[in-house]
Structure 1
Amino acid sequence: MKKSFLITLITFCSIYSFGQSKNAITFQAEIANRNGDVIYIKDGKNKTIKEMKINDKGFFKDTFEVEKEDFYMFFDGTEYTRLFLKNGYDLKLKMDAKQFDESIVYTGKGATENNYLAQDIIKEGLITPEKLVALSEADFKKMIDEKKLTEETFLDKSSLDKTFIEIQKRNISTNIKGLQRYYTESKAVQKLNNAVALTFNYVNHKGGATKLEELKGKYVYIDVWATWCGPCRGEIPFLQKIEEKYHGKNIEFVSISIDVQKDFEKWKKFVSDKQLGGIQLFADKDWNSDFVKSLNITGIPRFILIDPNGKIVNADAERPSSPKLGELFDRLLN
């Protein structure tokens, strides 16, 4: 399934006054193995509406109001979970942050809706990308049709809050559309495996340009990224460790930036400042570069593994942060 936050004085004063209302939400928790000292409640726009400090025993209790009954996010500085909040609720949470999703249990007023959400997150986690892409088109359609019918039927027969049911049904539809889009795109990418990779000839940070053909005879692990991409930057430390571990082996590490042309100097400075290794290249037409389009890249970071003959081993390879990548390289390179 990690950020900095700011709360203005006006917001603080508003929340403080809400806390004195008889209609306020009371929220308390016992959290074992907590990840931090503060819990943040965030709205759908990722805005923090409440901060609650946890004491040394992992306990907090606070009161506040929300502008509307809706879904919110509970963030402990490391992990998220969804909440349904409604003024007048009296929620008690017990959990172990080391088993974050699996350990969540609510009691009190509002517990039924929030326990539903906690269990829903666990169920969603069972639909892994690997399992999804392994399905035939017929089996995939059957799965999502059954999923939608089962979830909506349960909600219709339940005694859950009416607003909760309405919002959750919208979320189910959004989730189904997301799964359909992911499945379609993943199947298209999967068909690229074993095909000869389209060449490129991109500007090299060290000067000149580099063609894919120049790297034949070695495995090529490509990172398609951009300086503005947070998840891309998050993979950099892992990529550096992988590069160091397999230095001298029959593999080249290539990073292709799809920053727009006007950010060329920004890219050059970023690569220098961060002392990025491997072969650092700048794509000619960002997202519209022929190599990028040939791989159906619609989101980054994206990693591609090409074999010594120029064929695509995996058009959507494991990320550097995945232990599976090291296991694959050990099989291929040792």
Structure 2
Amino acid sequence: MKNFFLVAFVVFSAIGFNAQTKNQIKFTAKIANRNSDTLVIRGANNFTQVIPINKKEIFAATFEAPKGFYMFTDGKESSNLYLKPNSEVNLTMDAKQFDETIVYKGKGVDESNFLAQHALKDEKFQNEAFSKETAEFAALLEAKKKSDIESVDKGNYDPEFKTALKNSFEQFNQYAAQSYESVSKANKLKGKPSPGFDYENFKGGKTKLSDLKGKYVYIDLWATWCGPCRTEIPFLQKIEEKYHGKNIEFVSVSIDKEKDHEKWKKFVADKNLGGVQLFADKDWESAFVTSYGVTGIPRFILIDPNGNILESDASRPSSPELQTQLDTLLK
């Protein structure tokens, strides 16, 4: 998912499901422009269901799963669904328009369709409301919460689903408000000199941001424990390869805790990570990290050759927008 306001994710993380009661689920998916030949459905209590594509180019499986919230992924993007007893779920979508084209048909799919549409609603809110002034943002957020509750109440949904979603809306508001503050802080940094750092380099010694002056600098704030961070690594490696020899440095700053220092070194070596690999001095509390108001990772930052901030919350390596921007800057 492109948006980070996925209510189902909040619910999924918060309540899980009843692992004692398992129900048979029939699942099929027809995906145009697929990113992978395998789908994976994950849930609480380490639930994992791998679904390979068959000869008819359909993802199909019958499995047992407790009622509750789940996430499916094609290895590149993900979305959420809700499985009920004896559901027969038929998913269709186009992976090139991942979120916009998800449609569930079959038995027991109303909740999953609600989640798919609600994710789009959340993304639209993120794109529109975050550009507003503080008072207007607060009003829009409160109006959204009221609308969300009304939309759940009027639907013929599973009672446990309704309860979980309503509980999540308050968490959504809190998280949105915090994220708004973070984004506002980040936006105010554009065009200003970037805060500096002086961090341990995997190859030895230390590296300062000022050492890279004269080049564009694309910074990846990440950690070995961060799943979305690891997902971006193959895309970052391709970006590094494409712009090798150009006037740009790719810098990855790990905010792993000190106790995981050796884990970081092993990860960098085992994955043969390129670019400049650095280890922050105080993980989340490192001055460089807090100066950018970072509340979640991965976080990407783009700095110009003069050391000024071009993008305090830059596009991810997996986003086509990043290559478009770099092509313009480095032509």
C-alpha distance in 2 between matches for 1:196 and 1:71: 44
Q: Does 1:184 align with 2:159?
A: no
C-alpha distance in 2 between matches for 1:38 and 1:240: 23
1:125 Cα offset (Å):
3.9
Q: SS where residue 200 of structure 2 aligns?
A: strand
1:104 maps to what in 2?
A: 103
RMSD (CA atoms): 3.4
Q: Which residues of structure 2 form unaligned runs of 5+?
A: 2-19
C-alpha distance in 1 between matches for 2:225 and 2:29: 38
1:229 Cα offset (Å):
2.7
C-alpha distance in 1 between matches for 2:250 and 2:59: 47
1:144 maps to what in 2?
A: 141
2:308 maps to what in 1?
A: 311
- The change in CA–CA distance for 1:86 and 1:192 in structure 2 (over 3 A counts) is same
Q: 1:71 aligns with which of 69, 72, 78?
A: 69
Please tell me whether the aligned partners of residues 35 and 97 of structure 1 are also in contact (alpha carbons under 8 angstroms). Answer: no
1:289 Cα offset (Å):
2.1
C-alpha distance in 2 between matches for 1:241 and 1:259: 24
Please tell me whether the aligned partners of residues 27 and 90 of structure 2 are also in contact (alpha carbons under 8 angstroms). Answer: yes
1:190 Cα offset (Å):
1.5
Q: Does 1:332 align with 2:329?
A: yes
Q: TM-score, normalised by structure 2?
A: 0.77
- The change in CA–CA distance for 1:318 and 1:115 in structure 2 (over 3 A counts) is closer
Q: SS where residue 246 of structure 2 aligns?
A: coil
- The change in CA–CA distance for 1:306 and 1:124 in structure 2 (over 3 A counts) is same
Q: Does 1:255 align with 2:217?
A: no
Q: 1:119 aligns with which of 86, 94, 117?
A: 117
C-alpha distance in 1 between matches for 2:70 and 2:324: 38
Q: Which digits, 9 at most, give the CA deviation of each residue in 1:294-323, with x for residues without a partner?
A: 222232222212222222222211222222
1:277 Cα offset (Å):
2.6
Q: Does 1:222 align with 2:210?
A: no
1:202 maps to what in 2?
A: 199
Q: TM-score, normalised by structure 1?
A: 0.76
- The change in CA–CA distance for 1:273 and 1:124 in structure 2 (over 3 A counts) is same
Q: Which digits, 9 at most, give the CA deviation of each residue in 1:5-60, with x for residues without a partner?
A: xxxxxxxxx98xx6xxxxx6564546355777877664444424x67787544375
2:237 maps to what in 1?
A: 240
Q: Which digits, 9 at most, give the CA deviation of each residue in 1:184-212, with x for residues without a partner?
A: 21112212222222222222233322222
Structure 2 counterpart of 1:197, one-letter code: S
Higher relative contact order (CA 8 A, sep 6+): 2
Q: SS where residue 256 of structure 2 aligns?
A: coil
C-alpha distance in 1 between matches for 2:278 and 2:25: 54
Q: SS where residue 130 of structure 2 aligns?
A: helix
1:291 Cα offset (Å):
1.7
Structure 1 counterpart of 2:30, one-letter code: I
Q: SS where residue 140 of structure 2 aligns?
A: helix
- The change in CA–CA distance for 1:145 and 1:331 in structure 2 (over 3 A counts) is same
Q: Which digits, 9 at most, give the CA deviation of each residue in 1:213-261, with x for residues without a partner?
A: 2222222222222233332233222222222322333222222222333
Aligned residue runs from structure 1 range 35-54, under 5 A: 42-48=42-48
- The change in CA–CA distance for 1:171 and 1:133 in structure 2 (over 3 A counts) is same
The percent of aligned pairs where both chains have the same amino acid is 47
- The change in CA–CA distance for 1:252 and 1:146 in structure 2 (over 3 A counts) is same
Please tell me whether the aligned partners of residues 96 and 103 of structure 1 are also in contact (alpha carbons under 8 angstroms). Answer: yes
Q: SS where residue 252 of structure 1 aligns?
A: strand
1:177 Cα offset (Å):
2.7
Q: 2:274 aligns with which of 252, 273, 277?
A: 277
1:11 maps to what in 2?
A: none
Q: SS where residue 31 of structure 1 aligns?
A: strand
Please tell me whether the aligned partners of residues 68 and 83 of structure 2 are also in contact (alpha carbons under 8 angstroms). Answer: yes
Structure 1 counterpart of 2:192, one-letter code: A
Q: SS where residue 173 of structure 2 aligns?
A: helix
